[in-house]
Structure 1
């Protein structure tokens, strides 16, 4: 398979380019600096021998590895995103290479006493003896999802260099702005031309996911009335107290810190309040579509009940759906999941099939007509200073991609 140091060099070249996306921007890509890596990826795809390499005005990249068989096969795709989250800085990333990890604490930054410890992250112990790539403790790493990009490009390079491995037509797609929920918004499914695809955007080795949250955002606006506090009796309406009533009326244990697996939640992530007005921002999540709709209805009904209680229209709610559970689009074509599962077993990987407690470009793409399960890229602790990726997991991801290509390319 791909030489280990070659993969490390490729990955490091990606993560040292700052591609943080910007949720406040209305452009695509949301930050101009995403073009830096996007343009470099275009050149690299050409260099390794892919055809029809394109980048559009919104920085969506597509390329083709032509079939090398003389019979028809399905056209498949592999997709990853090149932006990094705005949750934590991705500027001036300084990757550290930990050879033959010994299972002990890793000092990321001695000066700031930042330590990556198995006491806090016990999954580290899965990778004793392996090569880890970590941060220096001051930035995220960007394995989400530059590991996926490195794996896809490396797998395509391997297939180009090994024409004895038979495969059908394979499409490659790289997108901006996935981390702010817009990665698939301007993805041209028809131009991509695949029957189905896989996002390489999961975490731990073996992950294979075709379920994700149904998701919505809710903005709760509460109007108050400000008057001089010395003469406020019977006149002042403090919107922050009403906001407190609203917050405390939702199920306290149905929040991210109290839920797991397929359990949904209400997540209050922002409060901006004064006496005269308060705004609450929530995200609503549930794997079950019926429960998801019930959660949205609960938010609306709570606002109505509090308005009745206060005998004034003080609370208004705006709810917008964000994405839906791809399961309903993937289940009718479950063979695409079965193929990925078989490809992992061929690589001596135990498949970990589980729901995503989040979203993925694959969800939106599935509803756009491109069924798109999600496969591990190998990283852990995304979106923060403790992010790391085992190189051996990346090598296995490359092997899985190559195995999928061969399985789909078999003559029926």
Structure 2
């Protein structure tokens, strides 16, 4: 366990930001730097069948140390970080024995991590926090998960008295841009089920997530001198504005919670003759999800009746709620829940307001709930992770392996 912190700090020091505009896998060459390091480290700790393919997907095996045949299980994390915020030259700060006060991340830029705003900080009084320096993200999403999986495997190698079946681990690129499972070879992985170590605060256990789609709406205008524009000009920016006004204004990320769905407009650009809106659609309920996609089509058709052939749209499904694939094998959730309870961790079973590799993998035939990795405030400069939460995640992995061997 003593290697957990230095291992994590080494990982976050390597920039692995993915790029949604790239057509390669991985989407950025710099992801290879950490991928190759992980392969070497897996060999060093004694893992077997260590492999990395042409797309940087990493797999390895810890062989069974028990005579009876039990299910092969897996643990999966991703090594890319989000394109939403820079991960270049991450300089972590370590706050020991946190006293519950404000943490000055960057005095020059007056960037403060405060429990007055981020109330979750108060539950970690007396613990060791790893934060950013206020200029980058941290990368606990999901380098904490990788560090935890490798540390747990290292512990099991060193403690053969803990009985377990065959364990497979997998590390993926490009999860942050929705492609982490796209080229994952489920058959090669060979597990009956797996867990992504990609959740947030301690105790999280998730087996349902959003249904997700992206939408691009394009507006075609006609430019005419504004002094002579009456009944002639069609302003594409104005059309985009009309479109946005017809979306429900109380169904956005900042106004919803729990299982409430939303529309999230994240990019808009335009001039008189051409404008474009990019948004994402999210809902846990399949019927509501379809209704949201239908609304995009209905608004587009309504505007086209007034301004013929001025609006086009493209909607792409991204992933679906893994609940329907996991409920038939619900014992895999119960094993994780029991592991946490035996370790004195209160399970926090809740829906994911997002997606994970696990949602896509579940639909590819590998049921894959999500377990906490410990971090908070992902994708930005206020990201932090308590060391004690990471240590508990390592113990949870070990306990799941142990319980699986006991129950089968």
- Please confirm whether the aligned pair reaches a TM-score higher than 0.5, indicating the same fold: yes
1:368 to 348, 364, 368: 364
Residues 282-340 of structure 1: CA distance to partner in whole angstroms, max 9, x if unpaired?
10000001100011011101111121133x12111110000000001001100000000
Aligned counterparts, 1:200-239, within 5 A: 200-239=197-236
Show CA shifts across 1:160-193 (max 9, x none).
0000000000000000000011000000000000
When normalised by structure 2's length, the TM-score is 0.99
1:79 aligns with 2:76: yes
| Structure 2 portions without partners, runs of 5+ | none
Cross-structure match for 1:48: 45
Q: TM-score, normalised by structure 1?
A: 0.98
Alpha-carbon shift at residue 244 of structure 1 (Å)? 1.2
Of 252, 255, 266, the residue aligned with 2:249 is 252
Structure 1 portions without partners, runs of 5+: none
Q: Deviation digits for residues 240-268 of structure 1, max 9, x if unmatched?
A: 11211111011110111111100001111
* 1:15-67 Cα deviation digits (max 9, x unpaired): 00110111111100000000000000000000000000000000000000000
Post-superposition offset of 1:148: 0.2
TM-fit CA distance, 1:411: 5.8
| Cα distance in structure 1, aligned partners of 2:298 and 2:383 | 40
Contact preservation (8 Å) 1:203, 1:377:
yes
Provide, for residues 338-387 of structure 1, a one-character-per-residue CA deviation record: whole Å limited to 9, x for no partner.
00000000110000000000010000000000000000000000000110
2:295 to 289, 294, 298: 298
Aligned: 1:381 with 2:377: yes
Cα distance in 1 for partners of 2:337, 2:230 equals: 67
1:148 aligned onto 2:131? no
1:110 Cα shift?
1.4
- Alignment-derived partner of residue 394 in structure 2: 398
Counterpart for residue 319 of structure 1: 315
Distance 1:410 1:289 in 2: 37
What is the rounded CA distance, in whole Å, between the counterparts of 1:87 and 1:233 in structure 2?
41
Q: What SS does the corresponding residue of 2:296 show, helix, strand or coil?
A: helix
CA distance in 2: counterparts of 1:270 and 1:146, whole angstroms: 28
Of 315, 337, 341, 2:337 maps to 341
Runs of 4 or more consecutive aligned structure 1 residues displaced over 4 Å after TM superposition: none
Whole-angstrom distance in 2 between the partners of 1:329 and 1:24: 31
State yes or no: 1:7 paired with 2:12: no
Q: Which moves more between the two structures, 108-117 or 164-173?
A: 108-117
CA RMSD, 1 decimal? 0.8
Aligned partner of 1:353 in structure 2 is 349
1:365–1:372 contact (8 Å) kept in structure 2: yes
C-alpha distance in structure 1 between counterparts of 2:231 and 2:378, whole Å: 50
